[in-house]
Every structure is written in C-alpha cells, then in structure tokens.
Amino acid sequence: MNSLKAETTDGGEVEAIRPLPWYPDNLAWHSNFSRMQLRKNQTLERFHEFLKLENEIGNITRQEAVSMVPPLFLDVRPDHFVFDMCAAPGSKTFQLLEIIYQSTKSGSLPDGMVMANDLDVQRCNLLIHQTKRMCTANLIVTNNEAQHFPGCRADKNGSKASEMEIEPQISQLLFDRVLCDVPCSGDGTLRKAPDMWRKWNPGMGNGLHSLQIQIAMRGLSLLKVGGRMVYSTCSMNPVEDEAVVAEILRKCGGSVELVDVSSELPQLVRRPGVRKWKVRDKDLWLASHKDVSKFQRYHILPSMFPSGKSYVAPANKDLEHENGENAISEDGIQPTEDASTEDLIEEVSDLPLERCMRIVPHDQNSGAFFIAVLQKLSPLPAIQEKPCKKRNLFKKNPELQGKLLDQVTEDNSGLEPDSRDVAVEKISEAATEADLIVDEPDEADMEPDPSNISNQDSEETKALVNGETDSGKAVGKRKLQLQGKWKGVDPVLFFKDESIINSIKMFYGIDESFPFDGHLISRNSDKNHVKRIYYVSKSVKDVLGLNFRVGQQLKIASIGLKMFERQTSREGTSTPCSFRISSEGLPVILPHITNQILYASSVDFKHLLQYKAIKFADFVDAEFGEKASKLMMGCCVIVMRDSKTMLDPTKVDASTIAIGCWKGRSNLNVMVTAIDCQELLERLSVRMEAEKGSSVQENKINVDDLQLNGASKVEESETTQLVADA
C-alpha cells in the first residue's frame, strides 16, 4: 500500500491509502473523493442542483453515453411502432420517444408510438416515473414477460369490432422497430459499479444465455418484415453476445440478416464482433460442446459455442481414472481428455459475426456495450408453424388436448398452455411461439374459456369498453370487472361519458379539430368516481382497441397522457366543469382552447409564479385583472404574452409558456407544482435578461445611427455652406 496526497479546493491536502491499481476499492475511492470535491466546491454544487432539477422536470435526462448508442442504430422515424422489450429504468425509452417527437410540430402528436415493457413490477414503476417526465400520449407501458409477449392476433371468427364499438385499424400487434436490450451479467458496468467485482462469476452469463435467445426470438417474431431489431447487452461475455446472435441466425435461416453498420456513426470507436471463443464453466475452459461432460450438459448448451453443434458422447467413451473408476471432481464435474487449454481446438463460426459491435471502456473512456443490428427479410421459417398444427389437433380432439395438458403439467411443474390462443391466435412464426404452449402460466390462468367467448364475453367486453358496469350481474362478476383483467392492475377503459365530455368541450371552448372520440381513457370502471382522464394518440388507440378485441392480453401498467383531473374541493363541485386541465396535458390541448384563456405580461406572469395567488385588483396590468375577474369560476389557462409585440400570440409554438390556474371568487391561484414553478421562474428570468440585453443592444444601435445621421447632416450643411461661399 502507498499513500496518495491530493490538493483540495481550499489549498489543503488530504491523505488517503491507495490500494493496488487493479483492486476495485480504488474505483470506489475515486468516486468518494469526487463527491467530497463536489460538496466543497460551490460552483459544482450549484451545477449539480441544476442537473437534478432539470432532470426531475424532464428538460434533460442524465444517461451514460454508451447506453444511448443502441437506439441510434434503430433508425426510428415518427410514424414507427417501436417496442422496447426490457425497458426499465427507461432512459432508452425516453430517448426513443424524443426521436419520434423530433420532427413533430408543437401541439400535434406523431403517428408512431412506443411500447415499453418490463417484467419486474418495481422496475416497471421506475420506468413509468422516468417516462412521465416526457408528457406523451404515444406511450404504453406493459408488465408482461418479454419472452412470452402476446402477439394480439385478432380472430376473424371472434367478437366483431362493431359489437364492442371499437374499430381497430390493426389486426395484429407488429412493430417497425424492436429494441432488445436483454438482461445480462453486466460486466461492462464495472467502471461505474465497482461492486460488480465481488458479485460477478462466469455462471451468470451462462445462466442467462437461454433467456436471452428466447427474448430475442420473440422480438423477431413481433417485428414486421423489413423492420430492424437491435440486440444489445452491457456485457463483454461472448456467451451473452455473439453466441446469442449466432443462434438467432441459425434458427431464422435466411429470413434474418445481420446488418453491417460500420459506416453509421463514424465517430464512434468500436471493435468488430468475435468469431471464436471458449466457454468458461467454473474452473474449466471449454472450446466446443465435445469437451462438455455429461454432468455439465444440462447447463452448458451447444448454442453457447461458435459452431452451435451438439455432441453426443458414445457410451463406451466414459473417462476412467487411473484406478479404473470414473474421475469426477468434488463439485460433480467430470473432466474430459482435452481439459488443458493448450490442447483445445477452438471452433470458428462461419457466420458474419464481425458485423457486431463491441464498445470497450478503454477505447473512448466509456462503459462497455455489445450491439448487433438485425433486419427481418421475410417471415420466419415455416418449421415454426408446428405449434399451430398442434392447436388445430386440440380443436378436433379435446380428449387428446386433456391428456397432453396433464402430461405438460407434470413435466413443467404445474405450467399450463395458453388455452385462449386456441381460439384467438394463429401462430405463424418461429421457435419462441412453441414456448408459449408450455411457458405461459400467468396468462393462461387468467384467460377465459374459448367456448364461452362468443356470447357472454362479448357483452362483458362491451360493458368494459364503454366504462359501464351492469348492477344486475352477480356480485362475483362485478368484482372481477372492477378489479380489471389483471389482478392488482387498474382496468384500462375507453371513457365515453358524453355529459362530462360535452361539459369539458363547452367550458374550455375546445374546437372540433381536436379529436376526442375514442381518445379518452379512464382507469376506473365506475364512471361516477373517475378522478383522472387520460388522452392517447391514434396509434395507441388502435393498439388498445386490438387489445380489447383479443381479450386484454396486454398487462398495461400505464397508458397515455393525463389530460383532465377532477377538482374535488368545495369550489370545484360548484363550477360548470369539475375537471381541470393537468399540467402534463396542457401543451397538447392548448392550441385548441378558445375559452377560459388569458394572456398576461411577463411581469404579472412572474408574480403569479412567485406568489401563487394574486387578487384581481393587485395585478400590474389592471386590464388583465379585470378580464380575469370576468372568467367563469373554475380552471383557466394563463399564457405569457410576447414582451416585444405586447400582442396575444396567434399560434402556439415550442417557446410558448403557459400555466393552469384556478379562478376563484376574488383571485387567481396557480395550479402548478413547486418544482415546476421554480423551473419556470428560472427560464423566465433567463428570457427576460436576454430580451433586456437585446433591447439595450438595439437602443445602442439606434443611438449610433442617430449620431451618424447627425454627423452626416452637419457635414452636408458645412459642404453646402462652403459651396455657397465660393
């Protein structure tokens, strides 16, 4: 151990014991030292507080640079349906949403949408919190298993869209782009997470290999022909990277291509993928499946090796110890003849795996990442339609179905096949679909019996879609309806209460150009107690209509943009409209509001943010205070007027600043959170300083022009006088 002296900001020195450079505590020491510097440096501390504030509001997103690379290779466009299979914590989802909104005009919505999924409930909540800052109506957050994500194929013989008052424009859930950022061992994050040194072992990657293949194959089956999927991990283990990509290419044949993107993002420093590697299992290096003992073959699979070929050892080839007994180590592993690394003959893949990308930390001072870009050229091989044939046999022979179900249940620890898929899903694509037969217990337990779908469920589904419940039904059925399709998850229903919708339209003067029909969502089946109304884009509306049509296969955790919220105060119940416009939904609906809207000067707008409540007579602009007093009681919108023209804005753009307020009997109350008020005040002060500086500059230019004009006139008069004298 040797000591390290470092100079602090106040000129003093701190001394610490520095461990060896390779030891992980060295990274932790540097991290702690940087925090100490941050606390003592007031400039850095203010900058850190600024970052936290802007991140909380959603103006910026703090994210490791290397983790932003995979979405860039997706080539996302505003009209694309994008699927983020393992989305939490949500930074890449946020990035994808920004891309589809990039060329969208202010006040309008893009034609595309993003579906973000994560299996873990807590991570799903984190995902919702992260994406909530985007304030988007083009997002659906689901809580399904990625490897068994439902395809939502509508059955032509099932309940008609007219019966449910839904006209979905799509008959199957397919995506233009899929981001497959799978769970991995995470050894590429060692720099920012030094604790990984204590947790990591080779078995972590080996254990995730099969799951990664299943998720990737499911993503390809949900991808449109011609679409692009990016497979990525934050691991450098070939078993999780090139081995998975190679197995995908083998399974899909020529229907999927590994795209060469070496010419894209030329400034990104990357290394090509590897075509040969060994597999590590505990204390052994394995070059091919031939080297795997029979005791290892239940967890060391052929797909982990470059060739992907399996090897079955002859019965008489069992290795024997010198005394004639089989040589088995203490941990149960039977070594092979070629146990030494020098004698192993490495396999080399014949697939173009060099088209993959490896981003290593020491090339450009970043984290490590593996990226592979895949394009779907045609439907996946027909061999994968075998599960469909099995299901057709089940229809013709129910007894055979029962016997096979019993056998599958015994072999798979109680797992049952997805019974609903027999009636509403025609499987046409590959290997991952076969897994759905035996690996979908959660959905199967909750699905209705296909024989009862036609009549009873169509009526119940219609009631759910309309947001109504039949009080004449049995108590048990009503409880199931109120509970929603998925236990513990609020139901997702189209909001169709015409009285409330008409009151909102009339109160705010919303013009007919703003689409309401089928775009409003509630999460409460009791329409008399709806607290929040959400707004969704047309693309999300179509997906939701399809989800109803197929029996709500998607477990939706969050959907759309909170547009209206019920005001439960005493004044709120006495107003013509009890629903106020939420801050999240205001930018979308603002261009379409014609009533309950006022334009304030920058001074009065700033005072509203500072004092939160101002009486009508206390506004600097007396005319504004008089107009405010004449508004109907309830929610209103205050827009900051342009200080240069002092005219009401004719159109809303990205620079428009507006807030929601509550018009009371004698004052205006701001209905914005404290953190949003703080951010708006800072933005307003910056704008006012910029305008002040520009006005000073203009005045200076005008003064200079006057001086120049005056000097030229003096010279002209003197010249005229000289000519006259001559």
- CATH number of the domain to which 188 belongs: 3.40.50.150
Residues 25 and 122 in one domain: no
Q: How far from each other are the two terminal CA atoms of the chain, in whole angstroms?
A: 98
| pLDDT > 80? residue 609 | yes
Integer Cα distance of 463 and 476 in angstroms: 16
Listed range (388-397, 523-532, 569-578, 693-702) with the worst mean pLDDT = 388-397
166 and 197, same domain (yes or no): yes
Which of the listed residues 536, 566, 596 is the one where a domain comes to its end? 566
pLDDT at 103: 79
Looking at the 3D structure of the chain, how many domains does it have? 4
| Residue 649 neighbours by CB distance under 10 Å | 15
Q: How far apart are CA 233 and CA 249, in angstroms?
A: 17
Average the pLDDT over 279-301 and give the result. 89
Q: Confirm whether 388 is a catalytic residue.
A: no
DSSP state of 413: T
- What are 562's strand-pairing partners? 534
Establish if 329 belongs to a structural domain. Answer: no
User: What DSSP state is assigned to residue 634?
Assistant: E
Question: For residues 228 and 76, what is the distance between their CA atoms, to the nearest angstrom?
Answer: 9
| Global model pTM greater than 0.85 | no
Do residues 415 and 537 share a domain?
A: no
Q: What pLDDT is stored for residue 367 in this prediction?
A: 92
Task: Note the pLDDT tens digit of each residue in 402-426.
Answer: 443 344 333 333 333 333 333 333 3
Summarize the confidence of residues 133-138 as an average pLDDT. 90
User: Residue 652 is inside which H or E element, if any?
Assistant: none
- DSSP codes of every residue in 58-112: TS-----GGGGHHHHTT---TT-EEEETT-TT-HHHHHHHHHHHTTPPTT---S-
Sorted by sequence, the CB contacts under 8 Å of residue 452 that are 6+ apart come out as: none
Residues 135 and 46 in one domain: no
- Is pLDDT above 50 for 9? no
52 and 90 in one domain? Answer: no
Lowest mean pLDDT among 86-95, 220-229, 382-391, 697-706: 382-391
Shared-domain flag, residues 94 and 165: yes
Domain that holds residue 493: 452-566
Bridge partners, residue 114, by sequence: 82, 139
Say yes or no: 421 and 542 in one domain: no
User: Do 262 and 143 share a structural domain?
Assistant: yes
How many whole angstroms separate alpha carbon 143 and alpha carbon 555? Answer: 5
In a domain, 309, yes or no: no
Q: In this structure, are 221 and 139 located in the same domain?
A: yes
Domain boundary among 566, 586, 601: 566
Same domain, 77 and 59: no
Query: Span 105-129, mean pLDDT?
Result: 89
Task: Give the pLDDT confidence of 497-536 residue by residue, as tens digits.
Answer: 999 999 999 999 998 889 888 899 999 888 778 999 999 9
Q: Which residues contact 214 (CB under 8 A, 6 or more apart)?
A: 147, 432, 435
Residue (of 174, 198, 206) closest to 82 by Cα position: 174
| Residue where a domain stops, chosen among 532, 566, 600 | 566
Out of 56-60, 175-179, 296-300, 527-531, the most confident range is 175-179
Determine which one of 234, 252, 635, 661 is catalytic: 234
Picking from 249-253, 340-344, 665-669, 683-687, which range would have the lowest pLDDT averaged per residue? 340-344
Question: Does residue 24 have a cis bond before it (omega within 30 degrees)?
Answer: no
Q: Which residues contact 21 (CB under 8 A, 6 or more apart)?
A: none
Instruction: Say yes or no: 530 and 518 in one domain.
Output: yes
Domain-embedded: residue 661? no
Query: What is the Cα–Cα distance from 144 to 142, expressed in whole angstroms?
Result: 6
Q: Where are the beta strands (DSSP E) in 269-418?
A: 271-272, 279-281, 284-286, 357-359, 369-376
Q: What 3-state class would DSSP assign to 511?
A: coil
Cα angle 610, 611, 614 (rounded to 5 degrees) comes to 130
What pLDDT score does 490 carry? 87
Q: What is the pLDDT of residue 344?
A: 53
- 685 part of a folded domain: no
pLDDT tens by residue, 612-665: 999 999 999 999 999 999 999 999 999 998 766 556 555 777 778 899 999 998
Within-domain flag for 487: yes
Distance, in Å, from the CA atom of 375 to the CA atom of 378, rounded to the nearest integer, reads 9
**Mean pLDDT of the 264-270 span:** 94
Residues 360 and 469 placed together within one structural domain of the fold: no
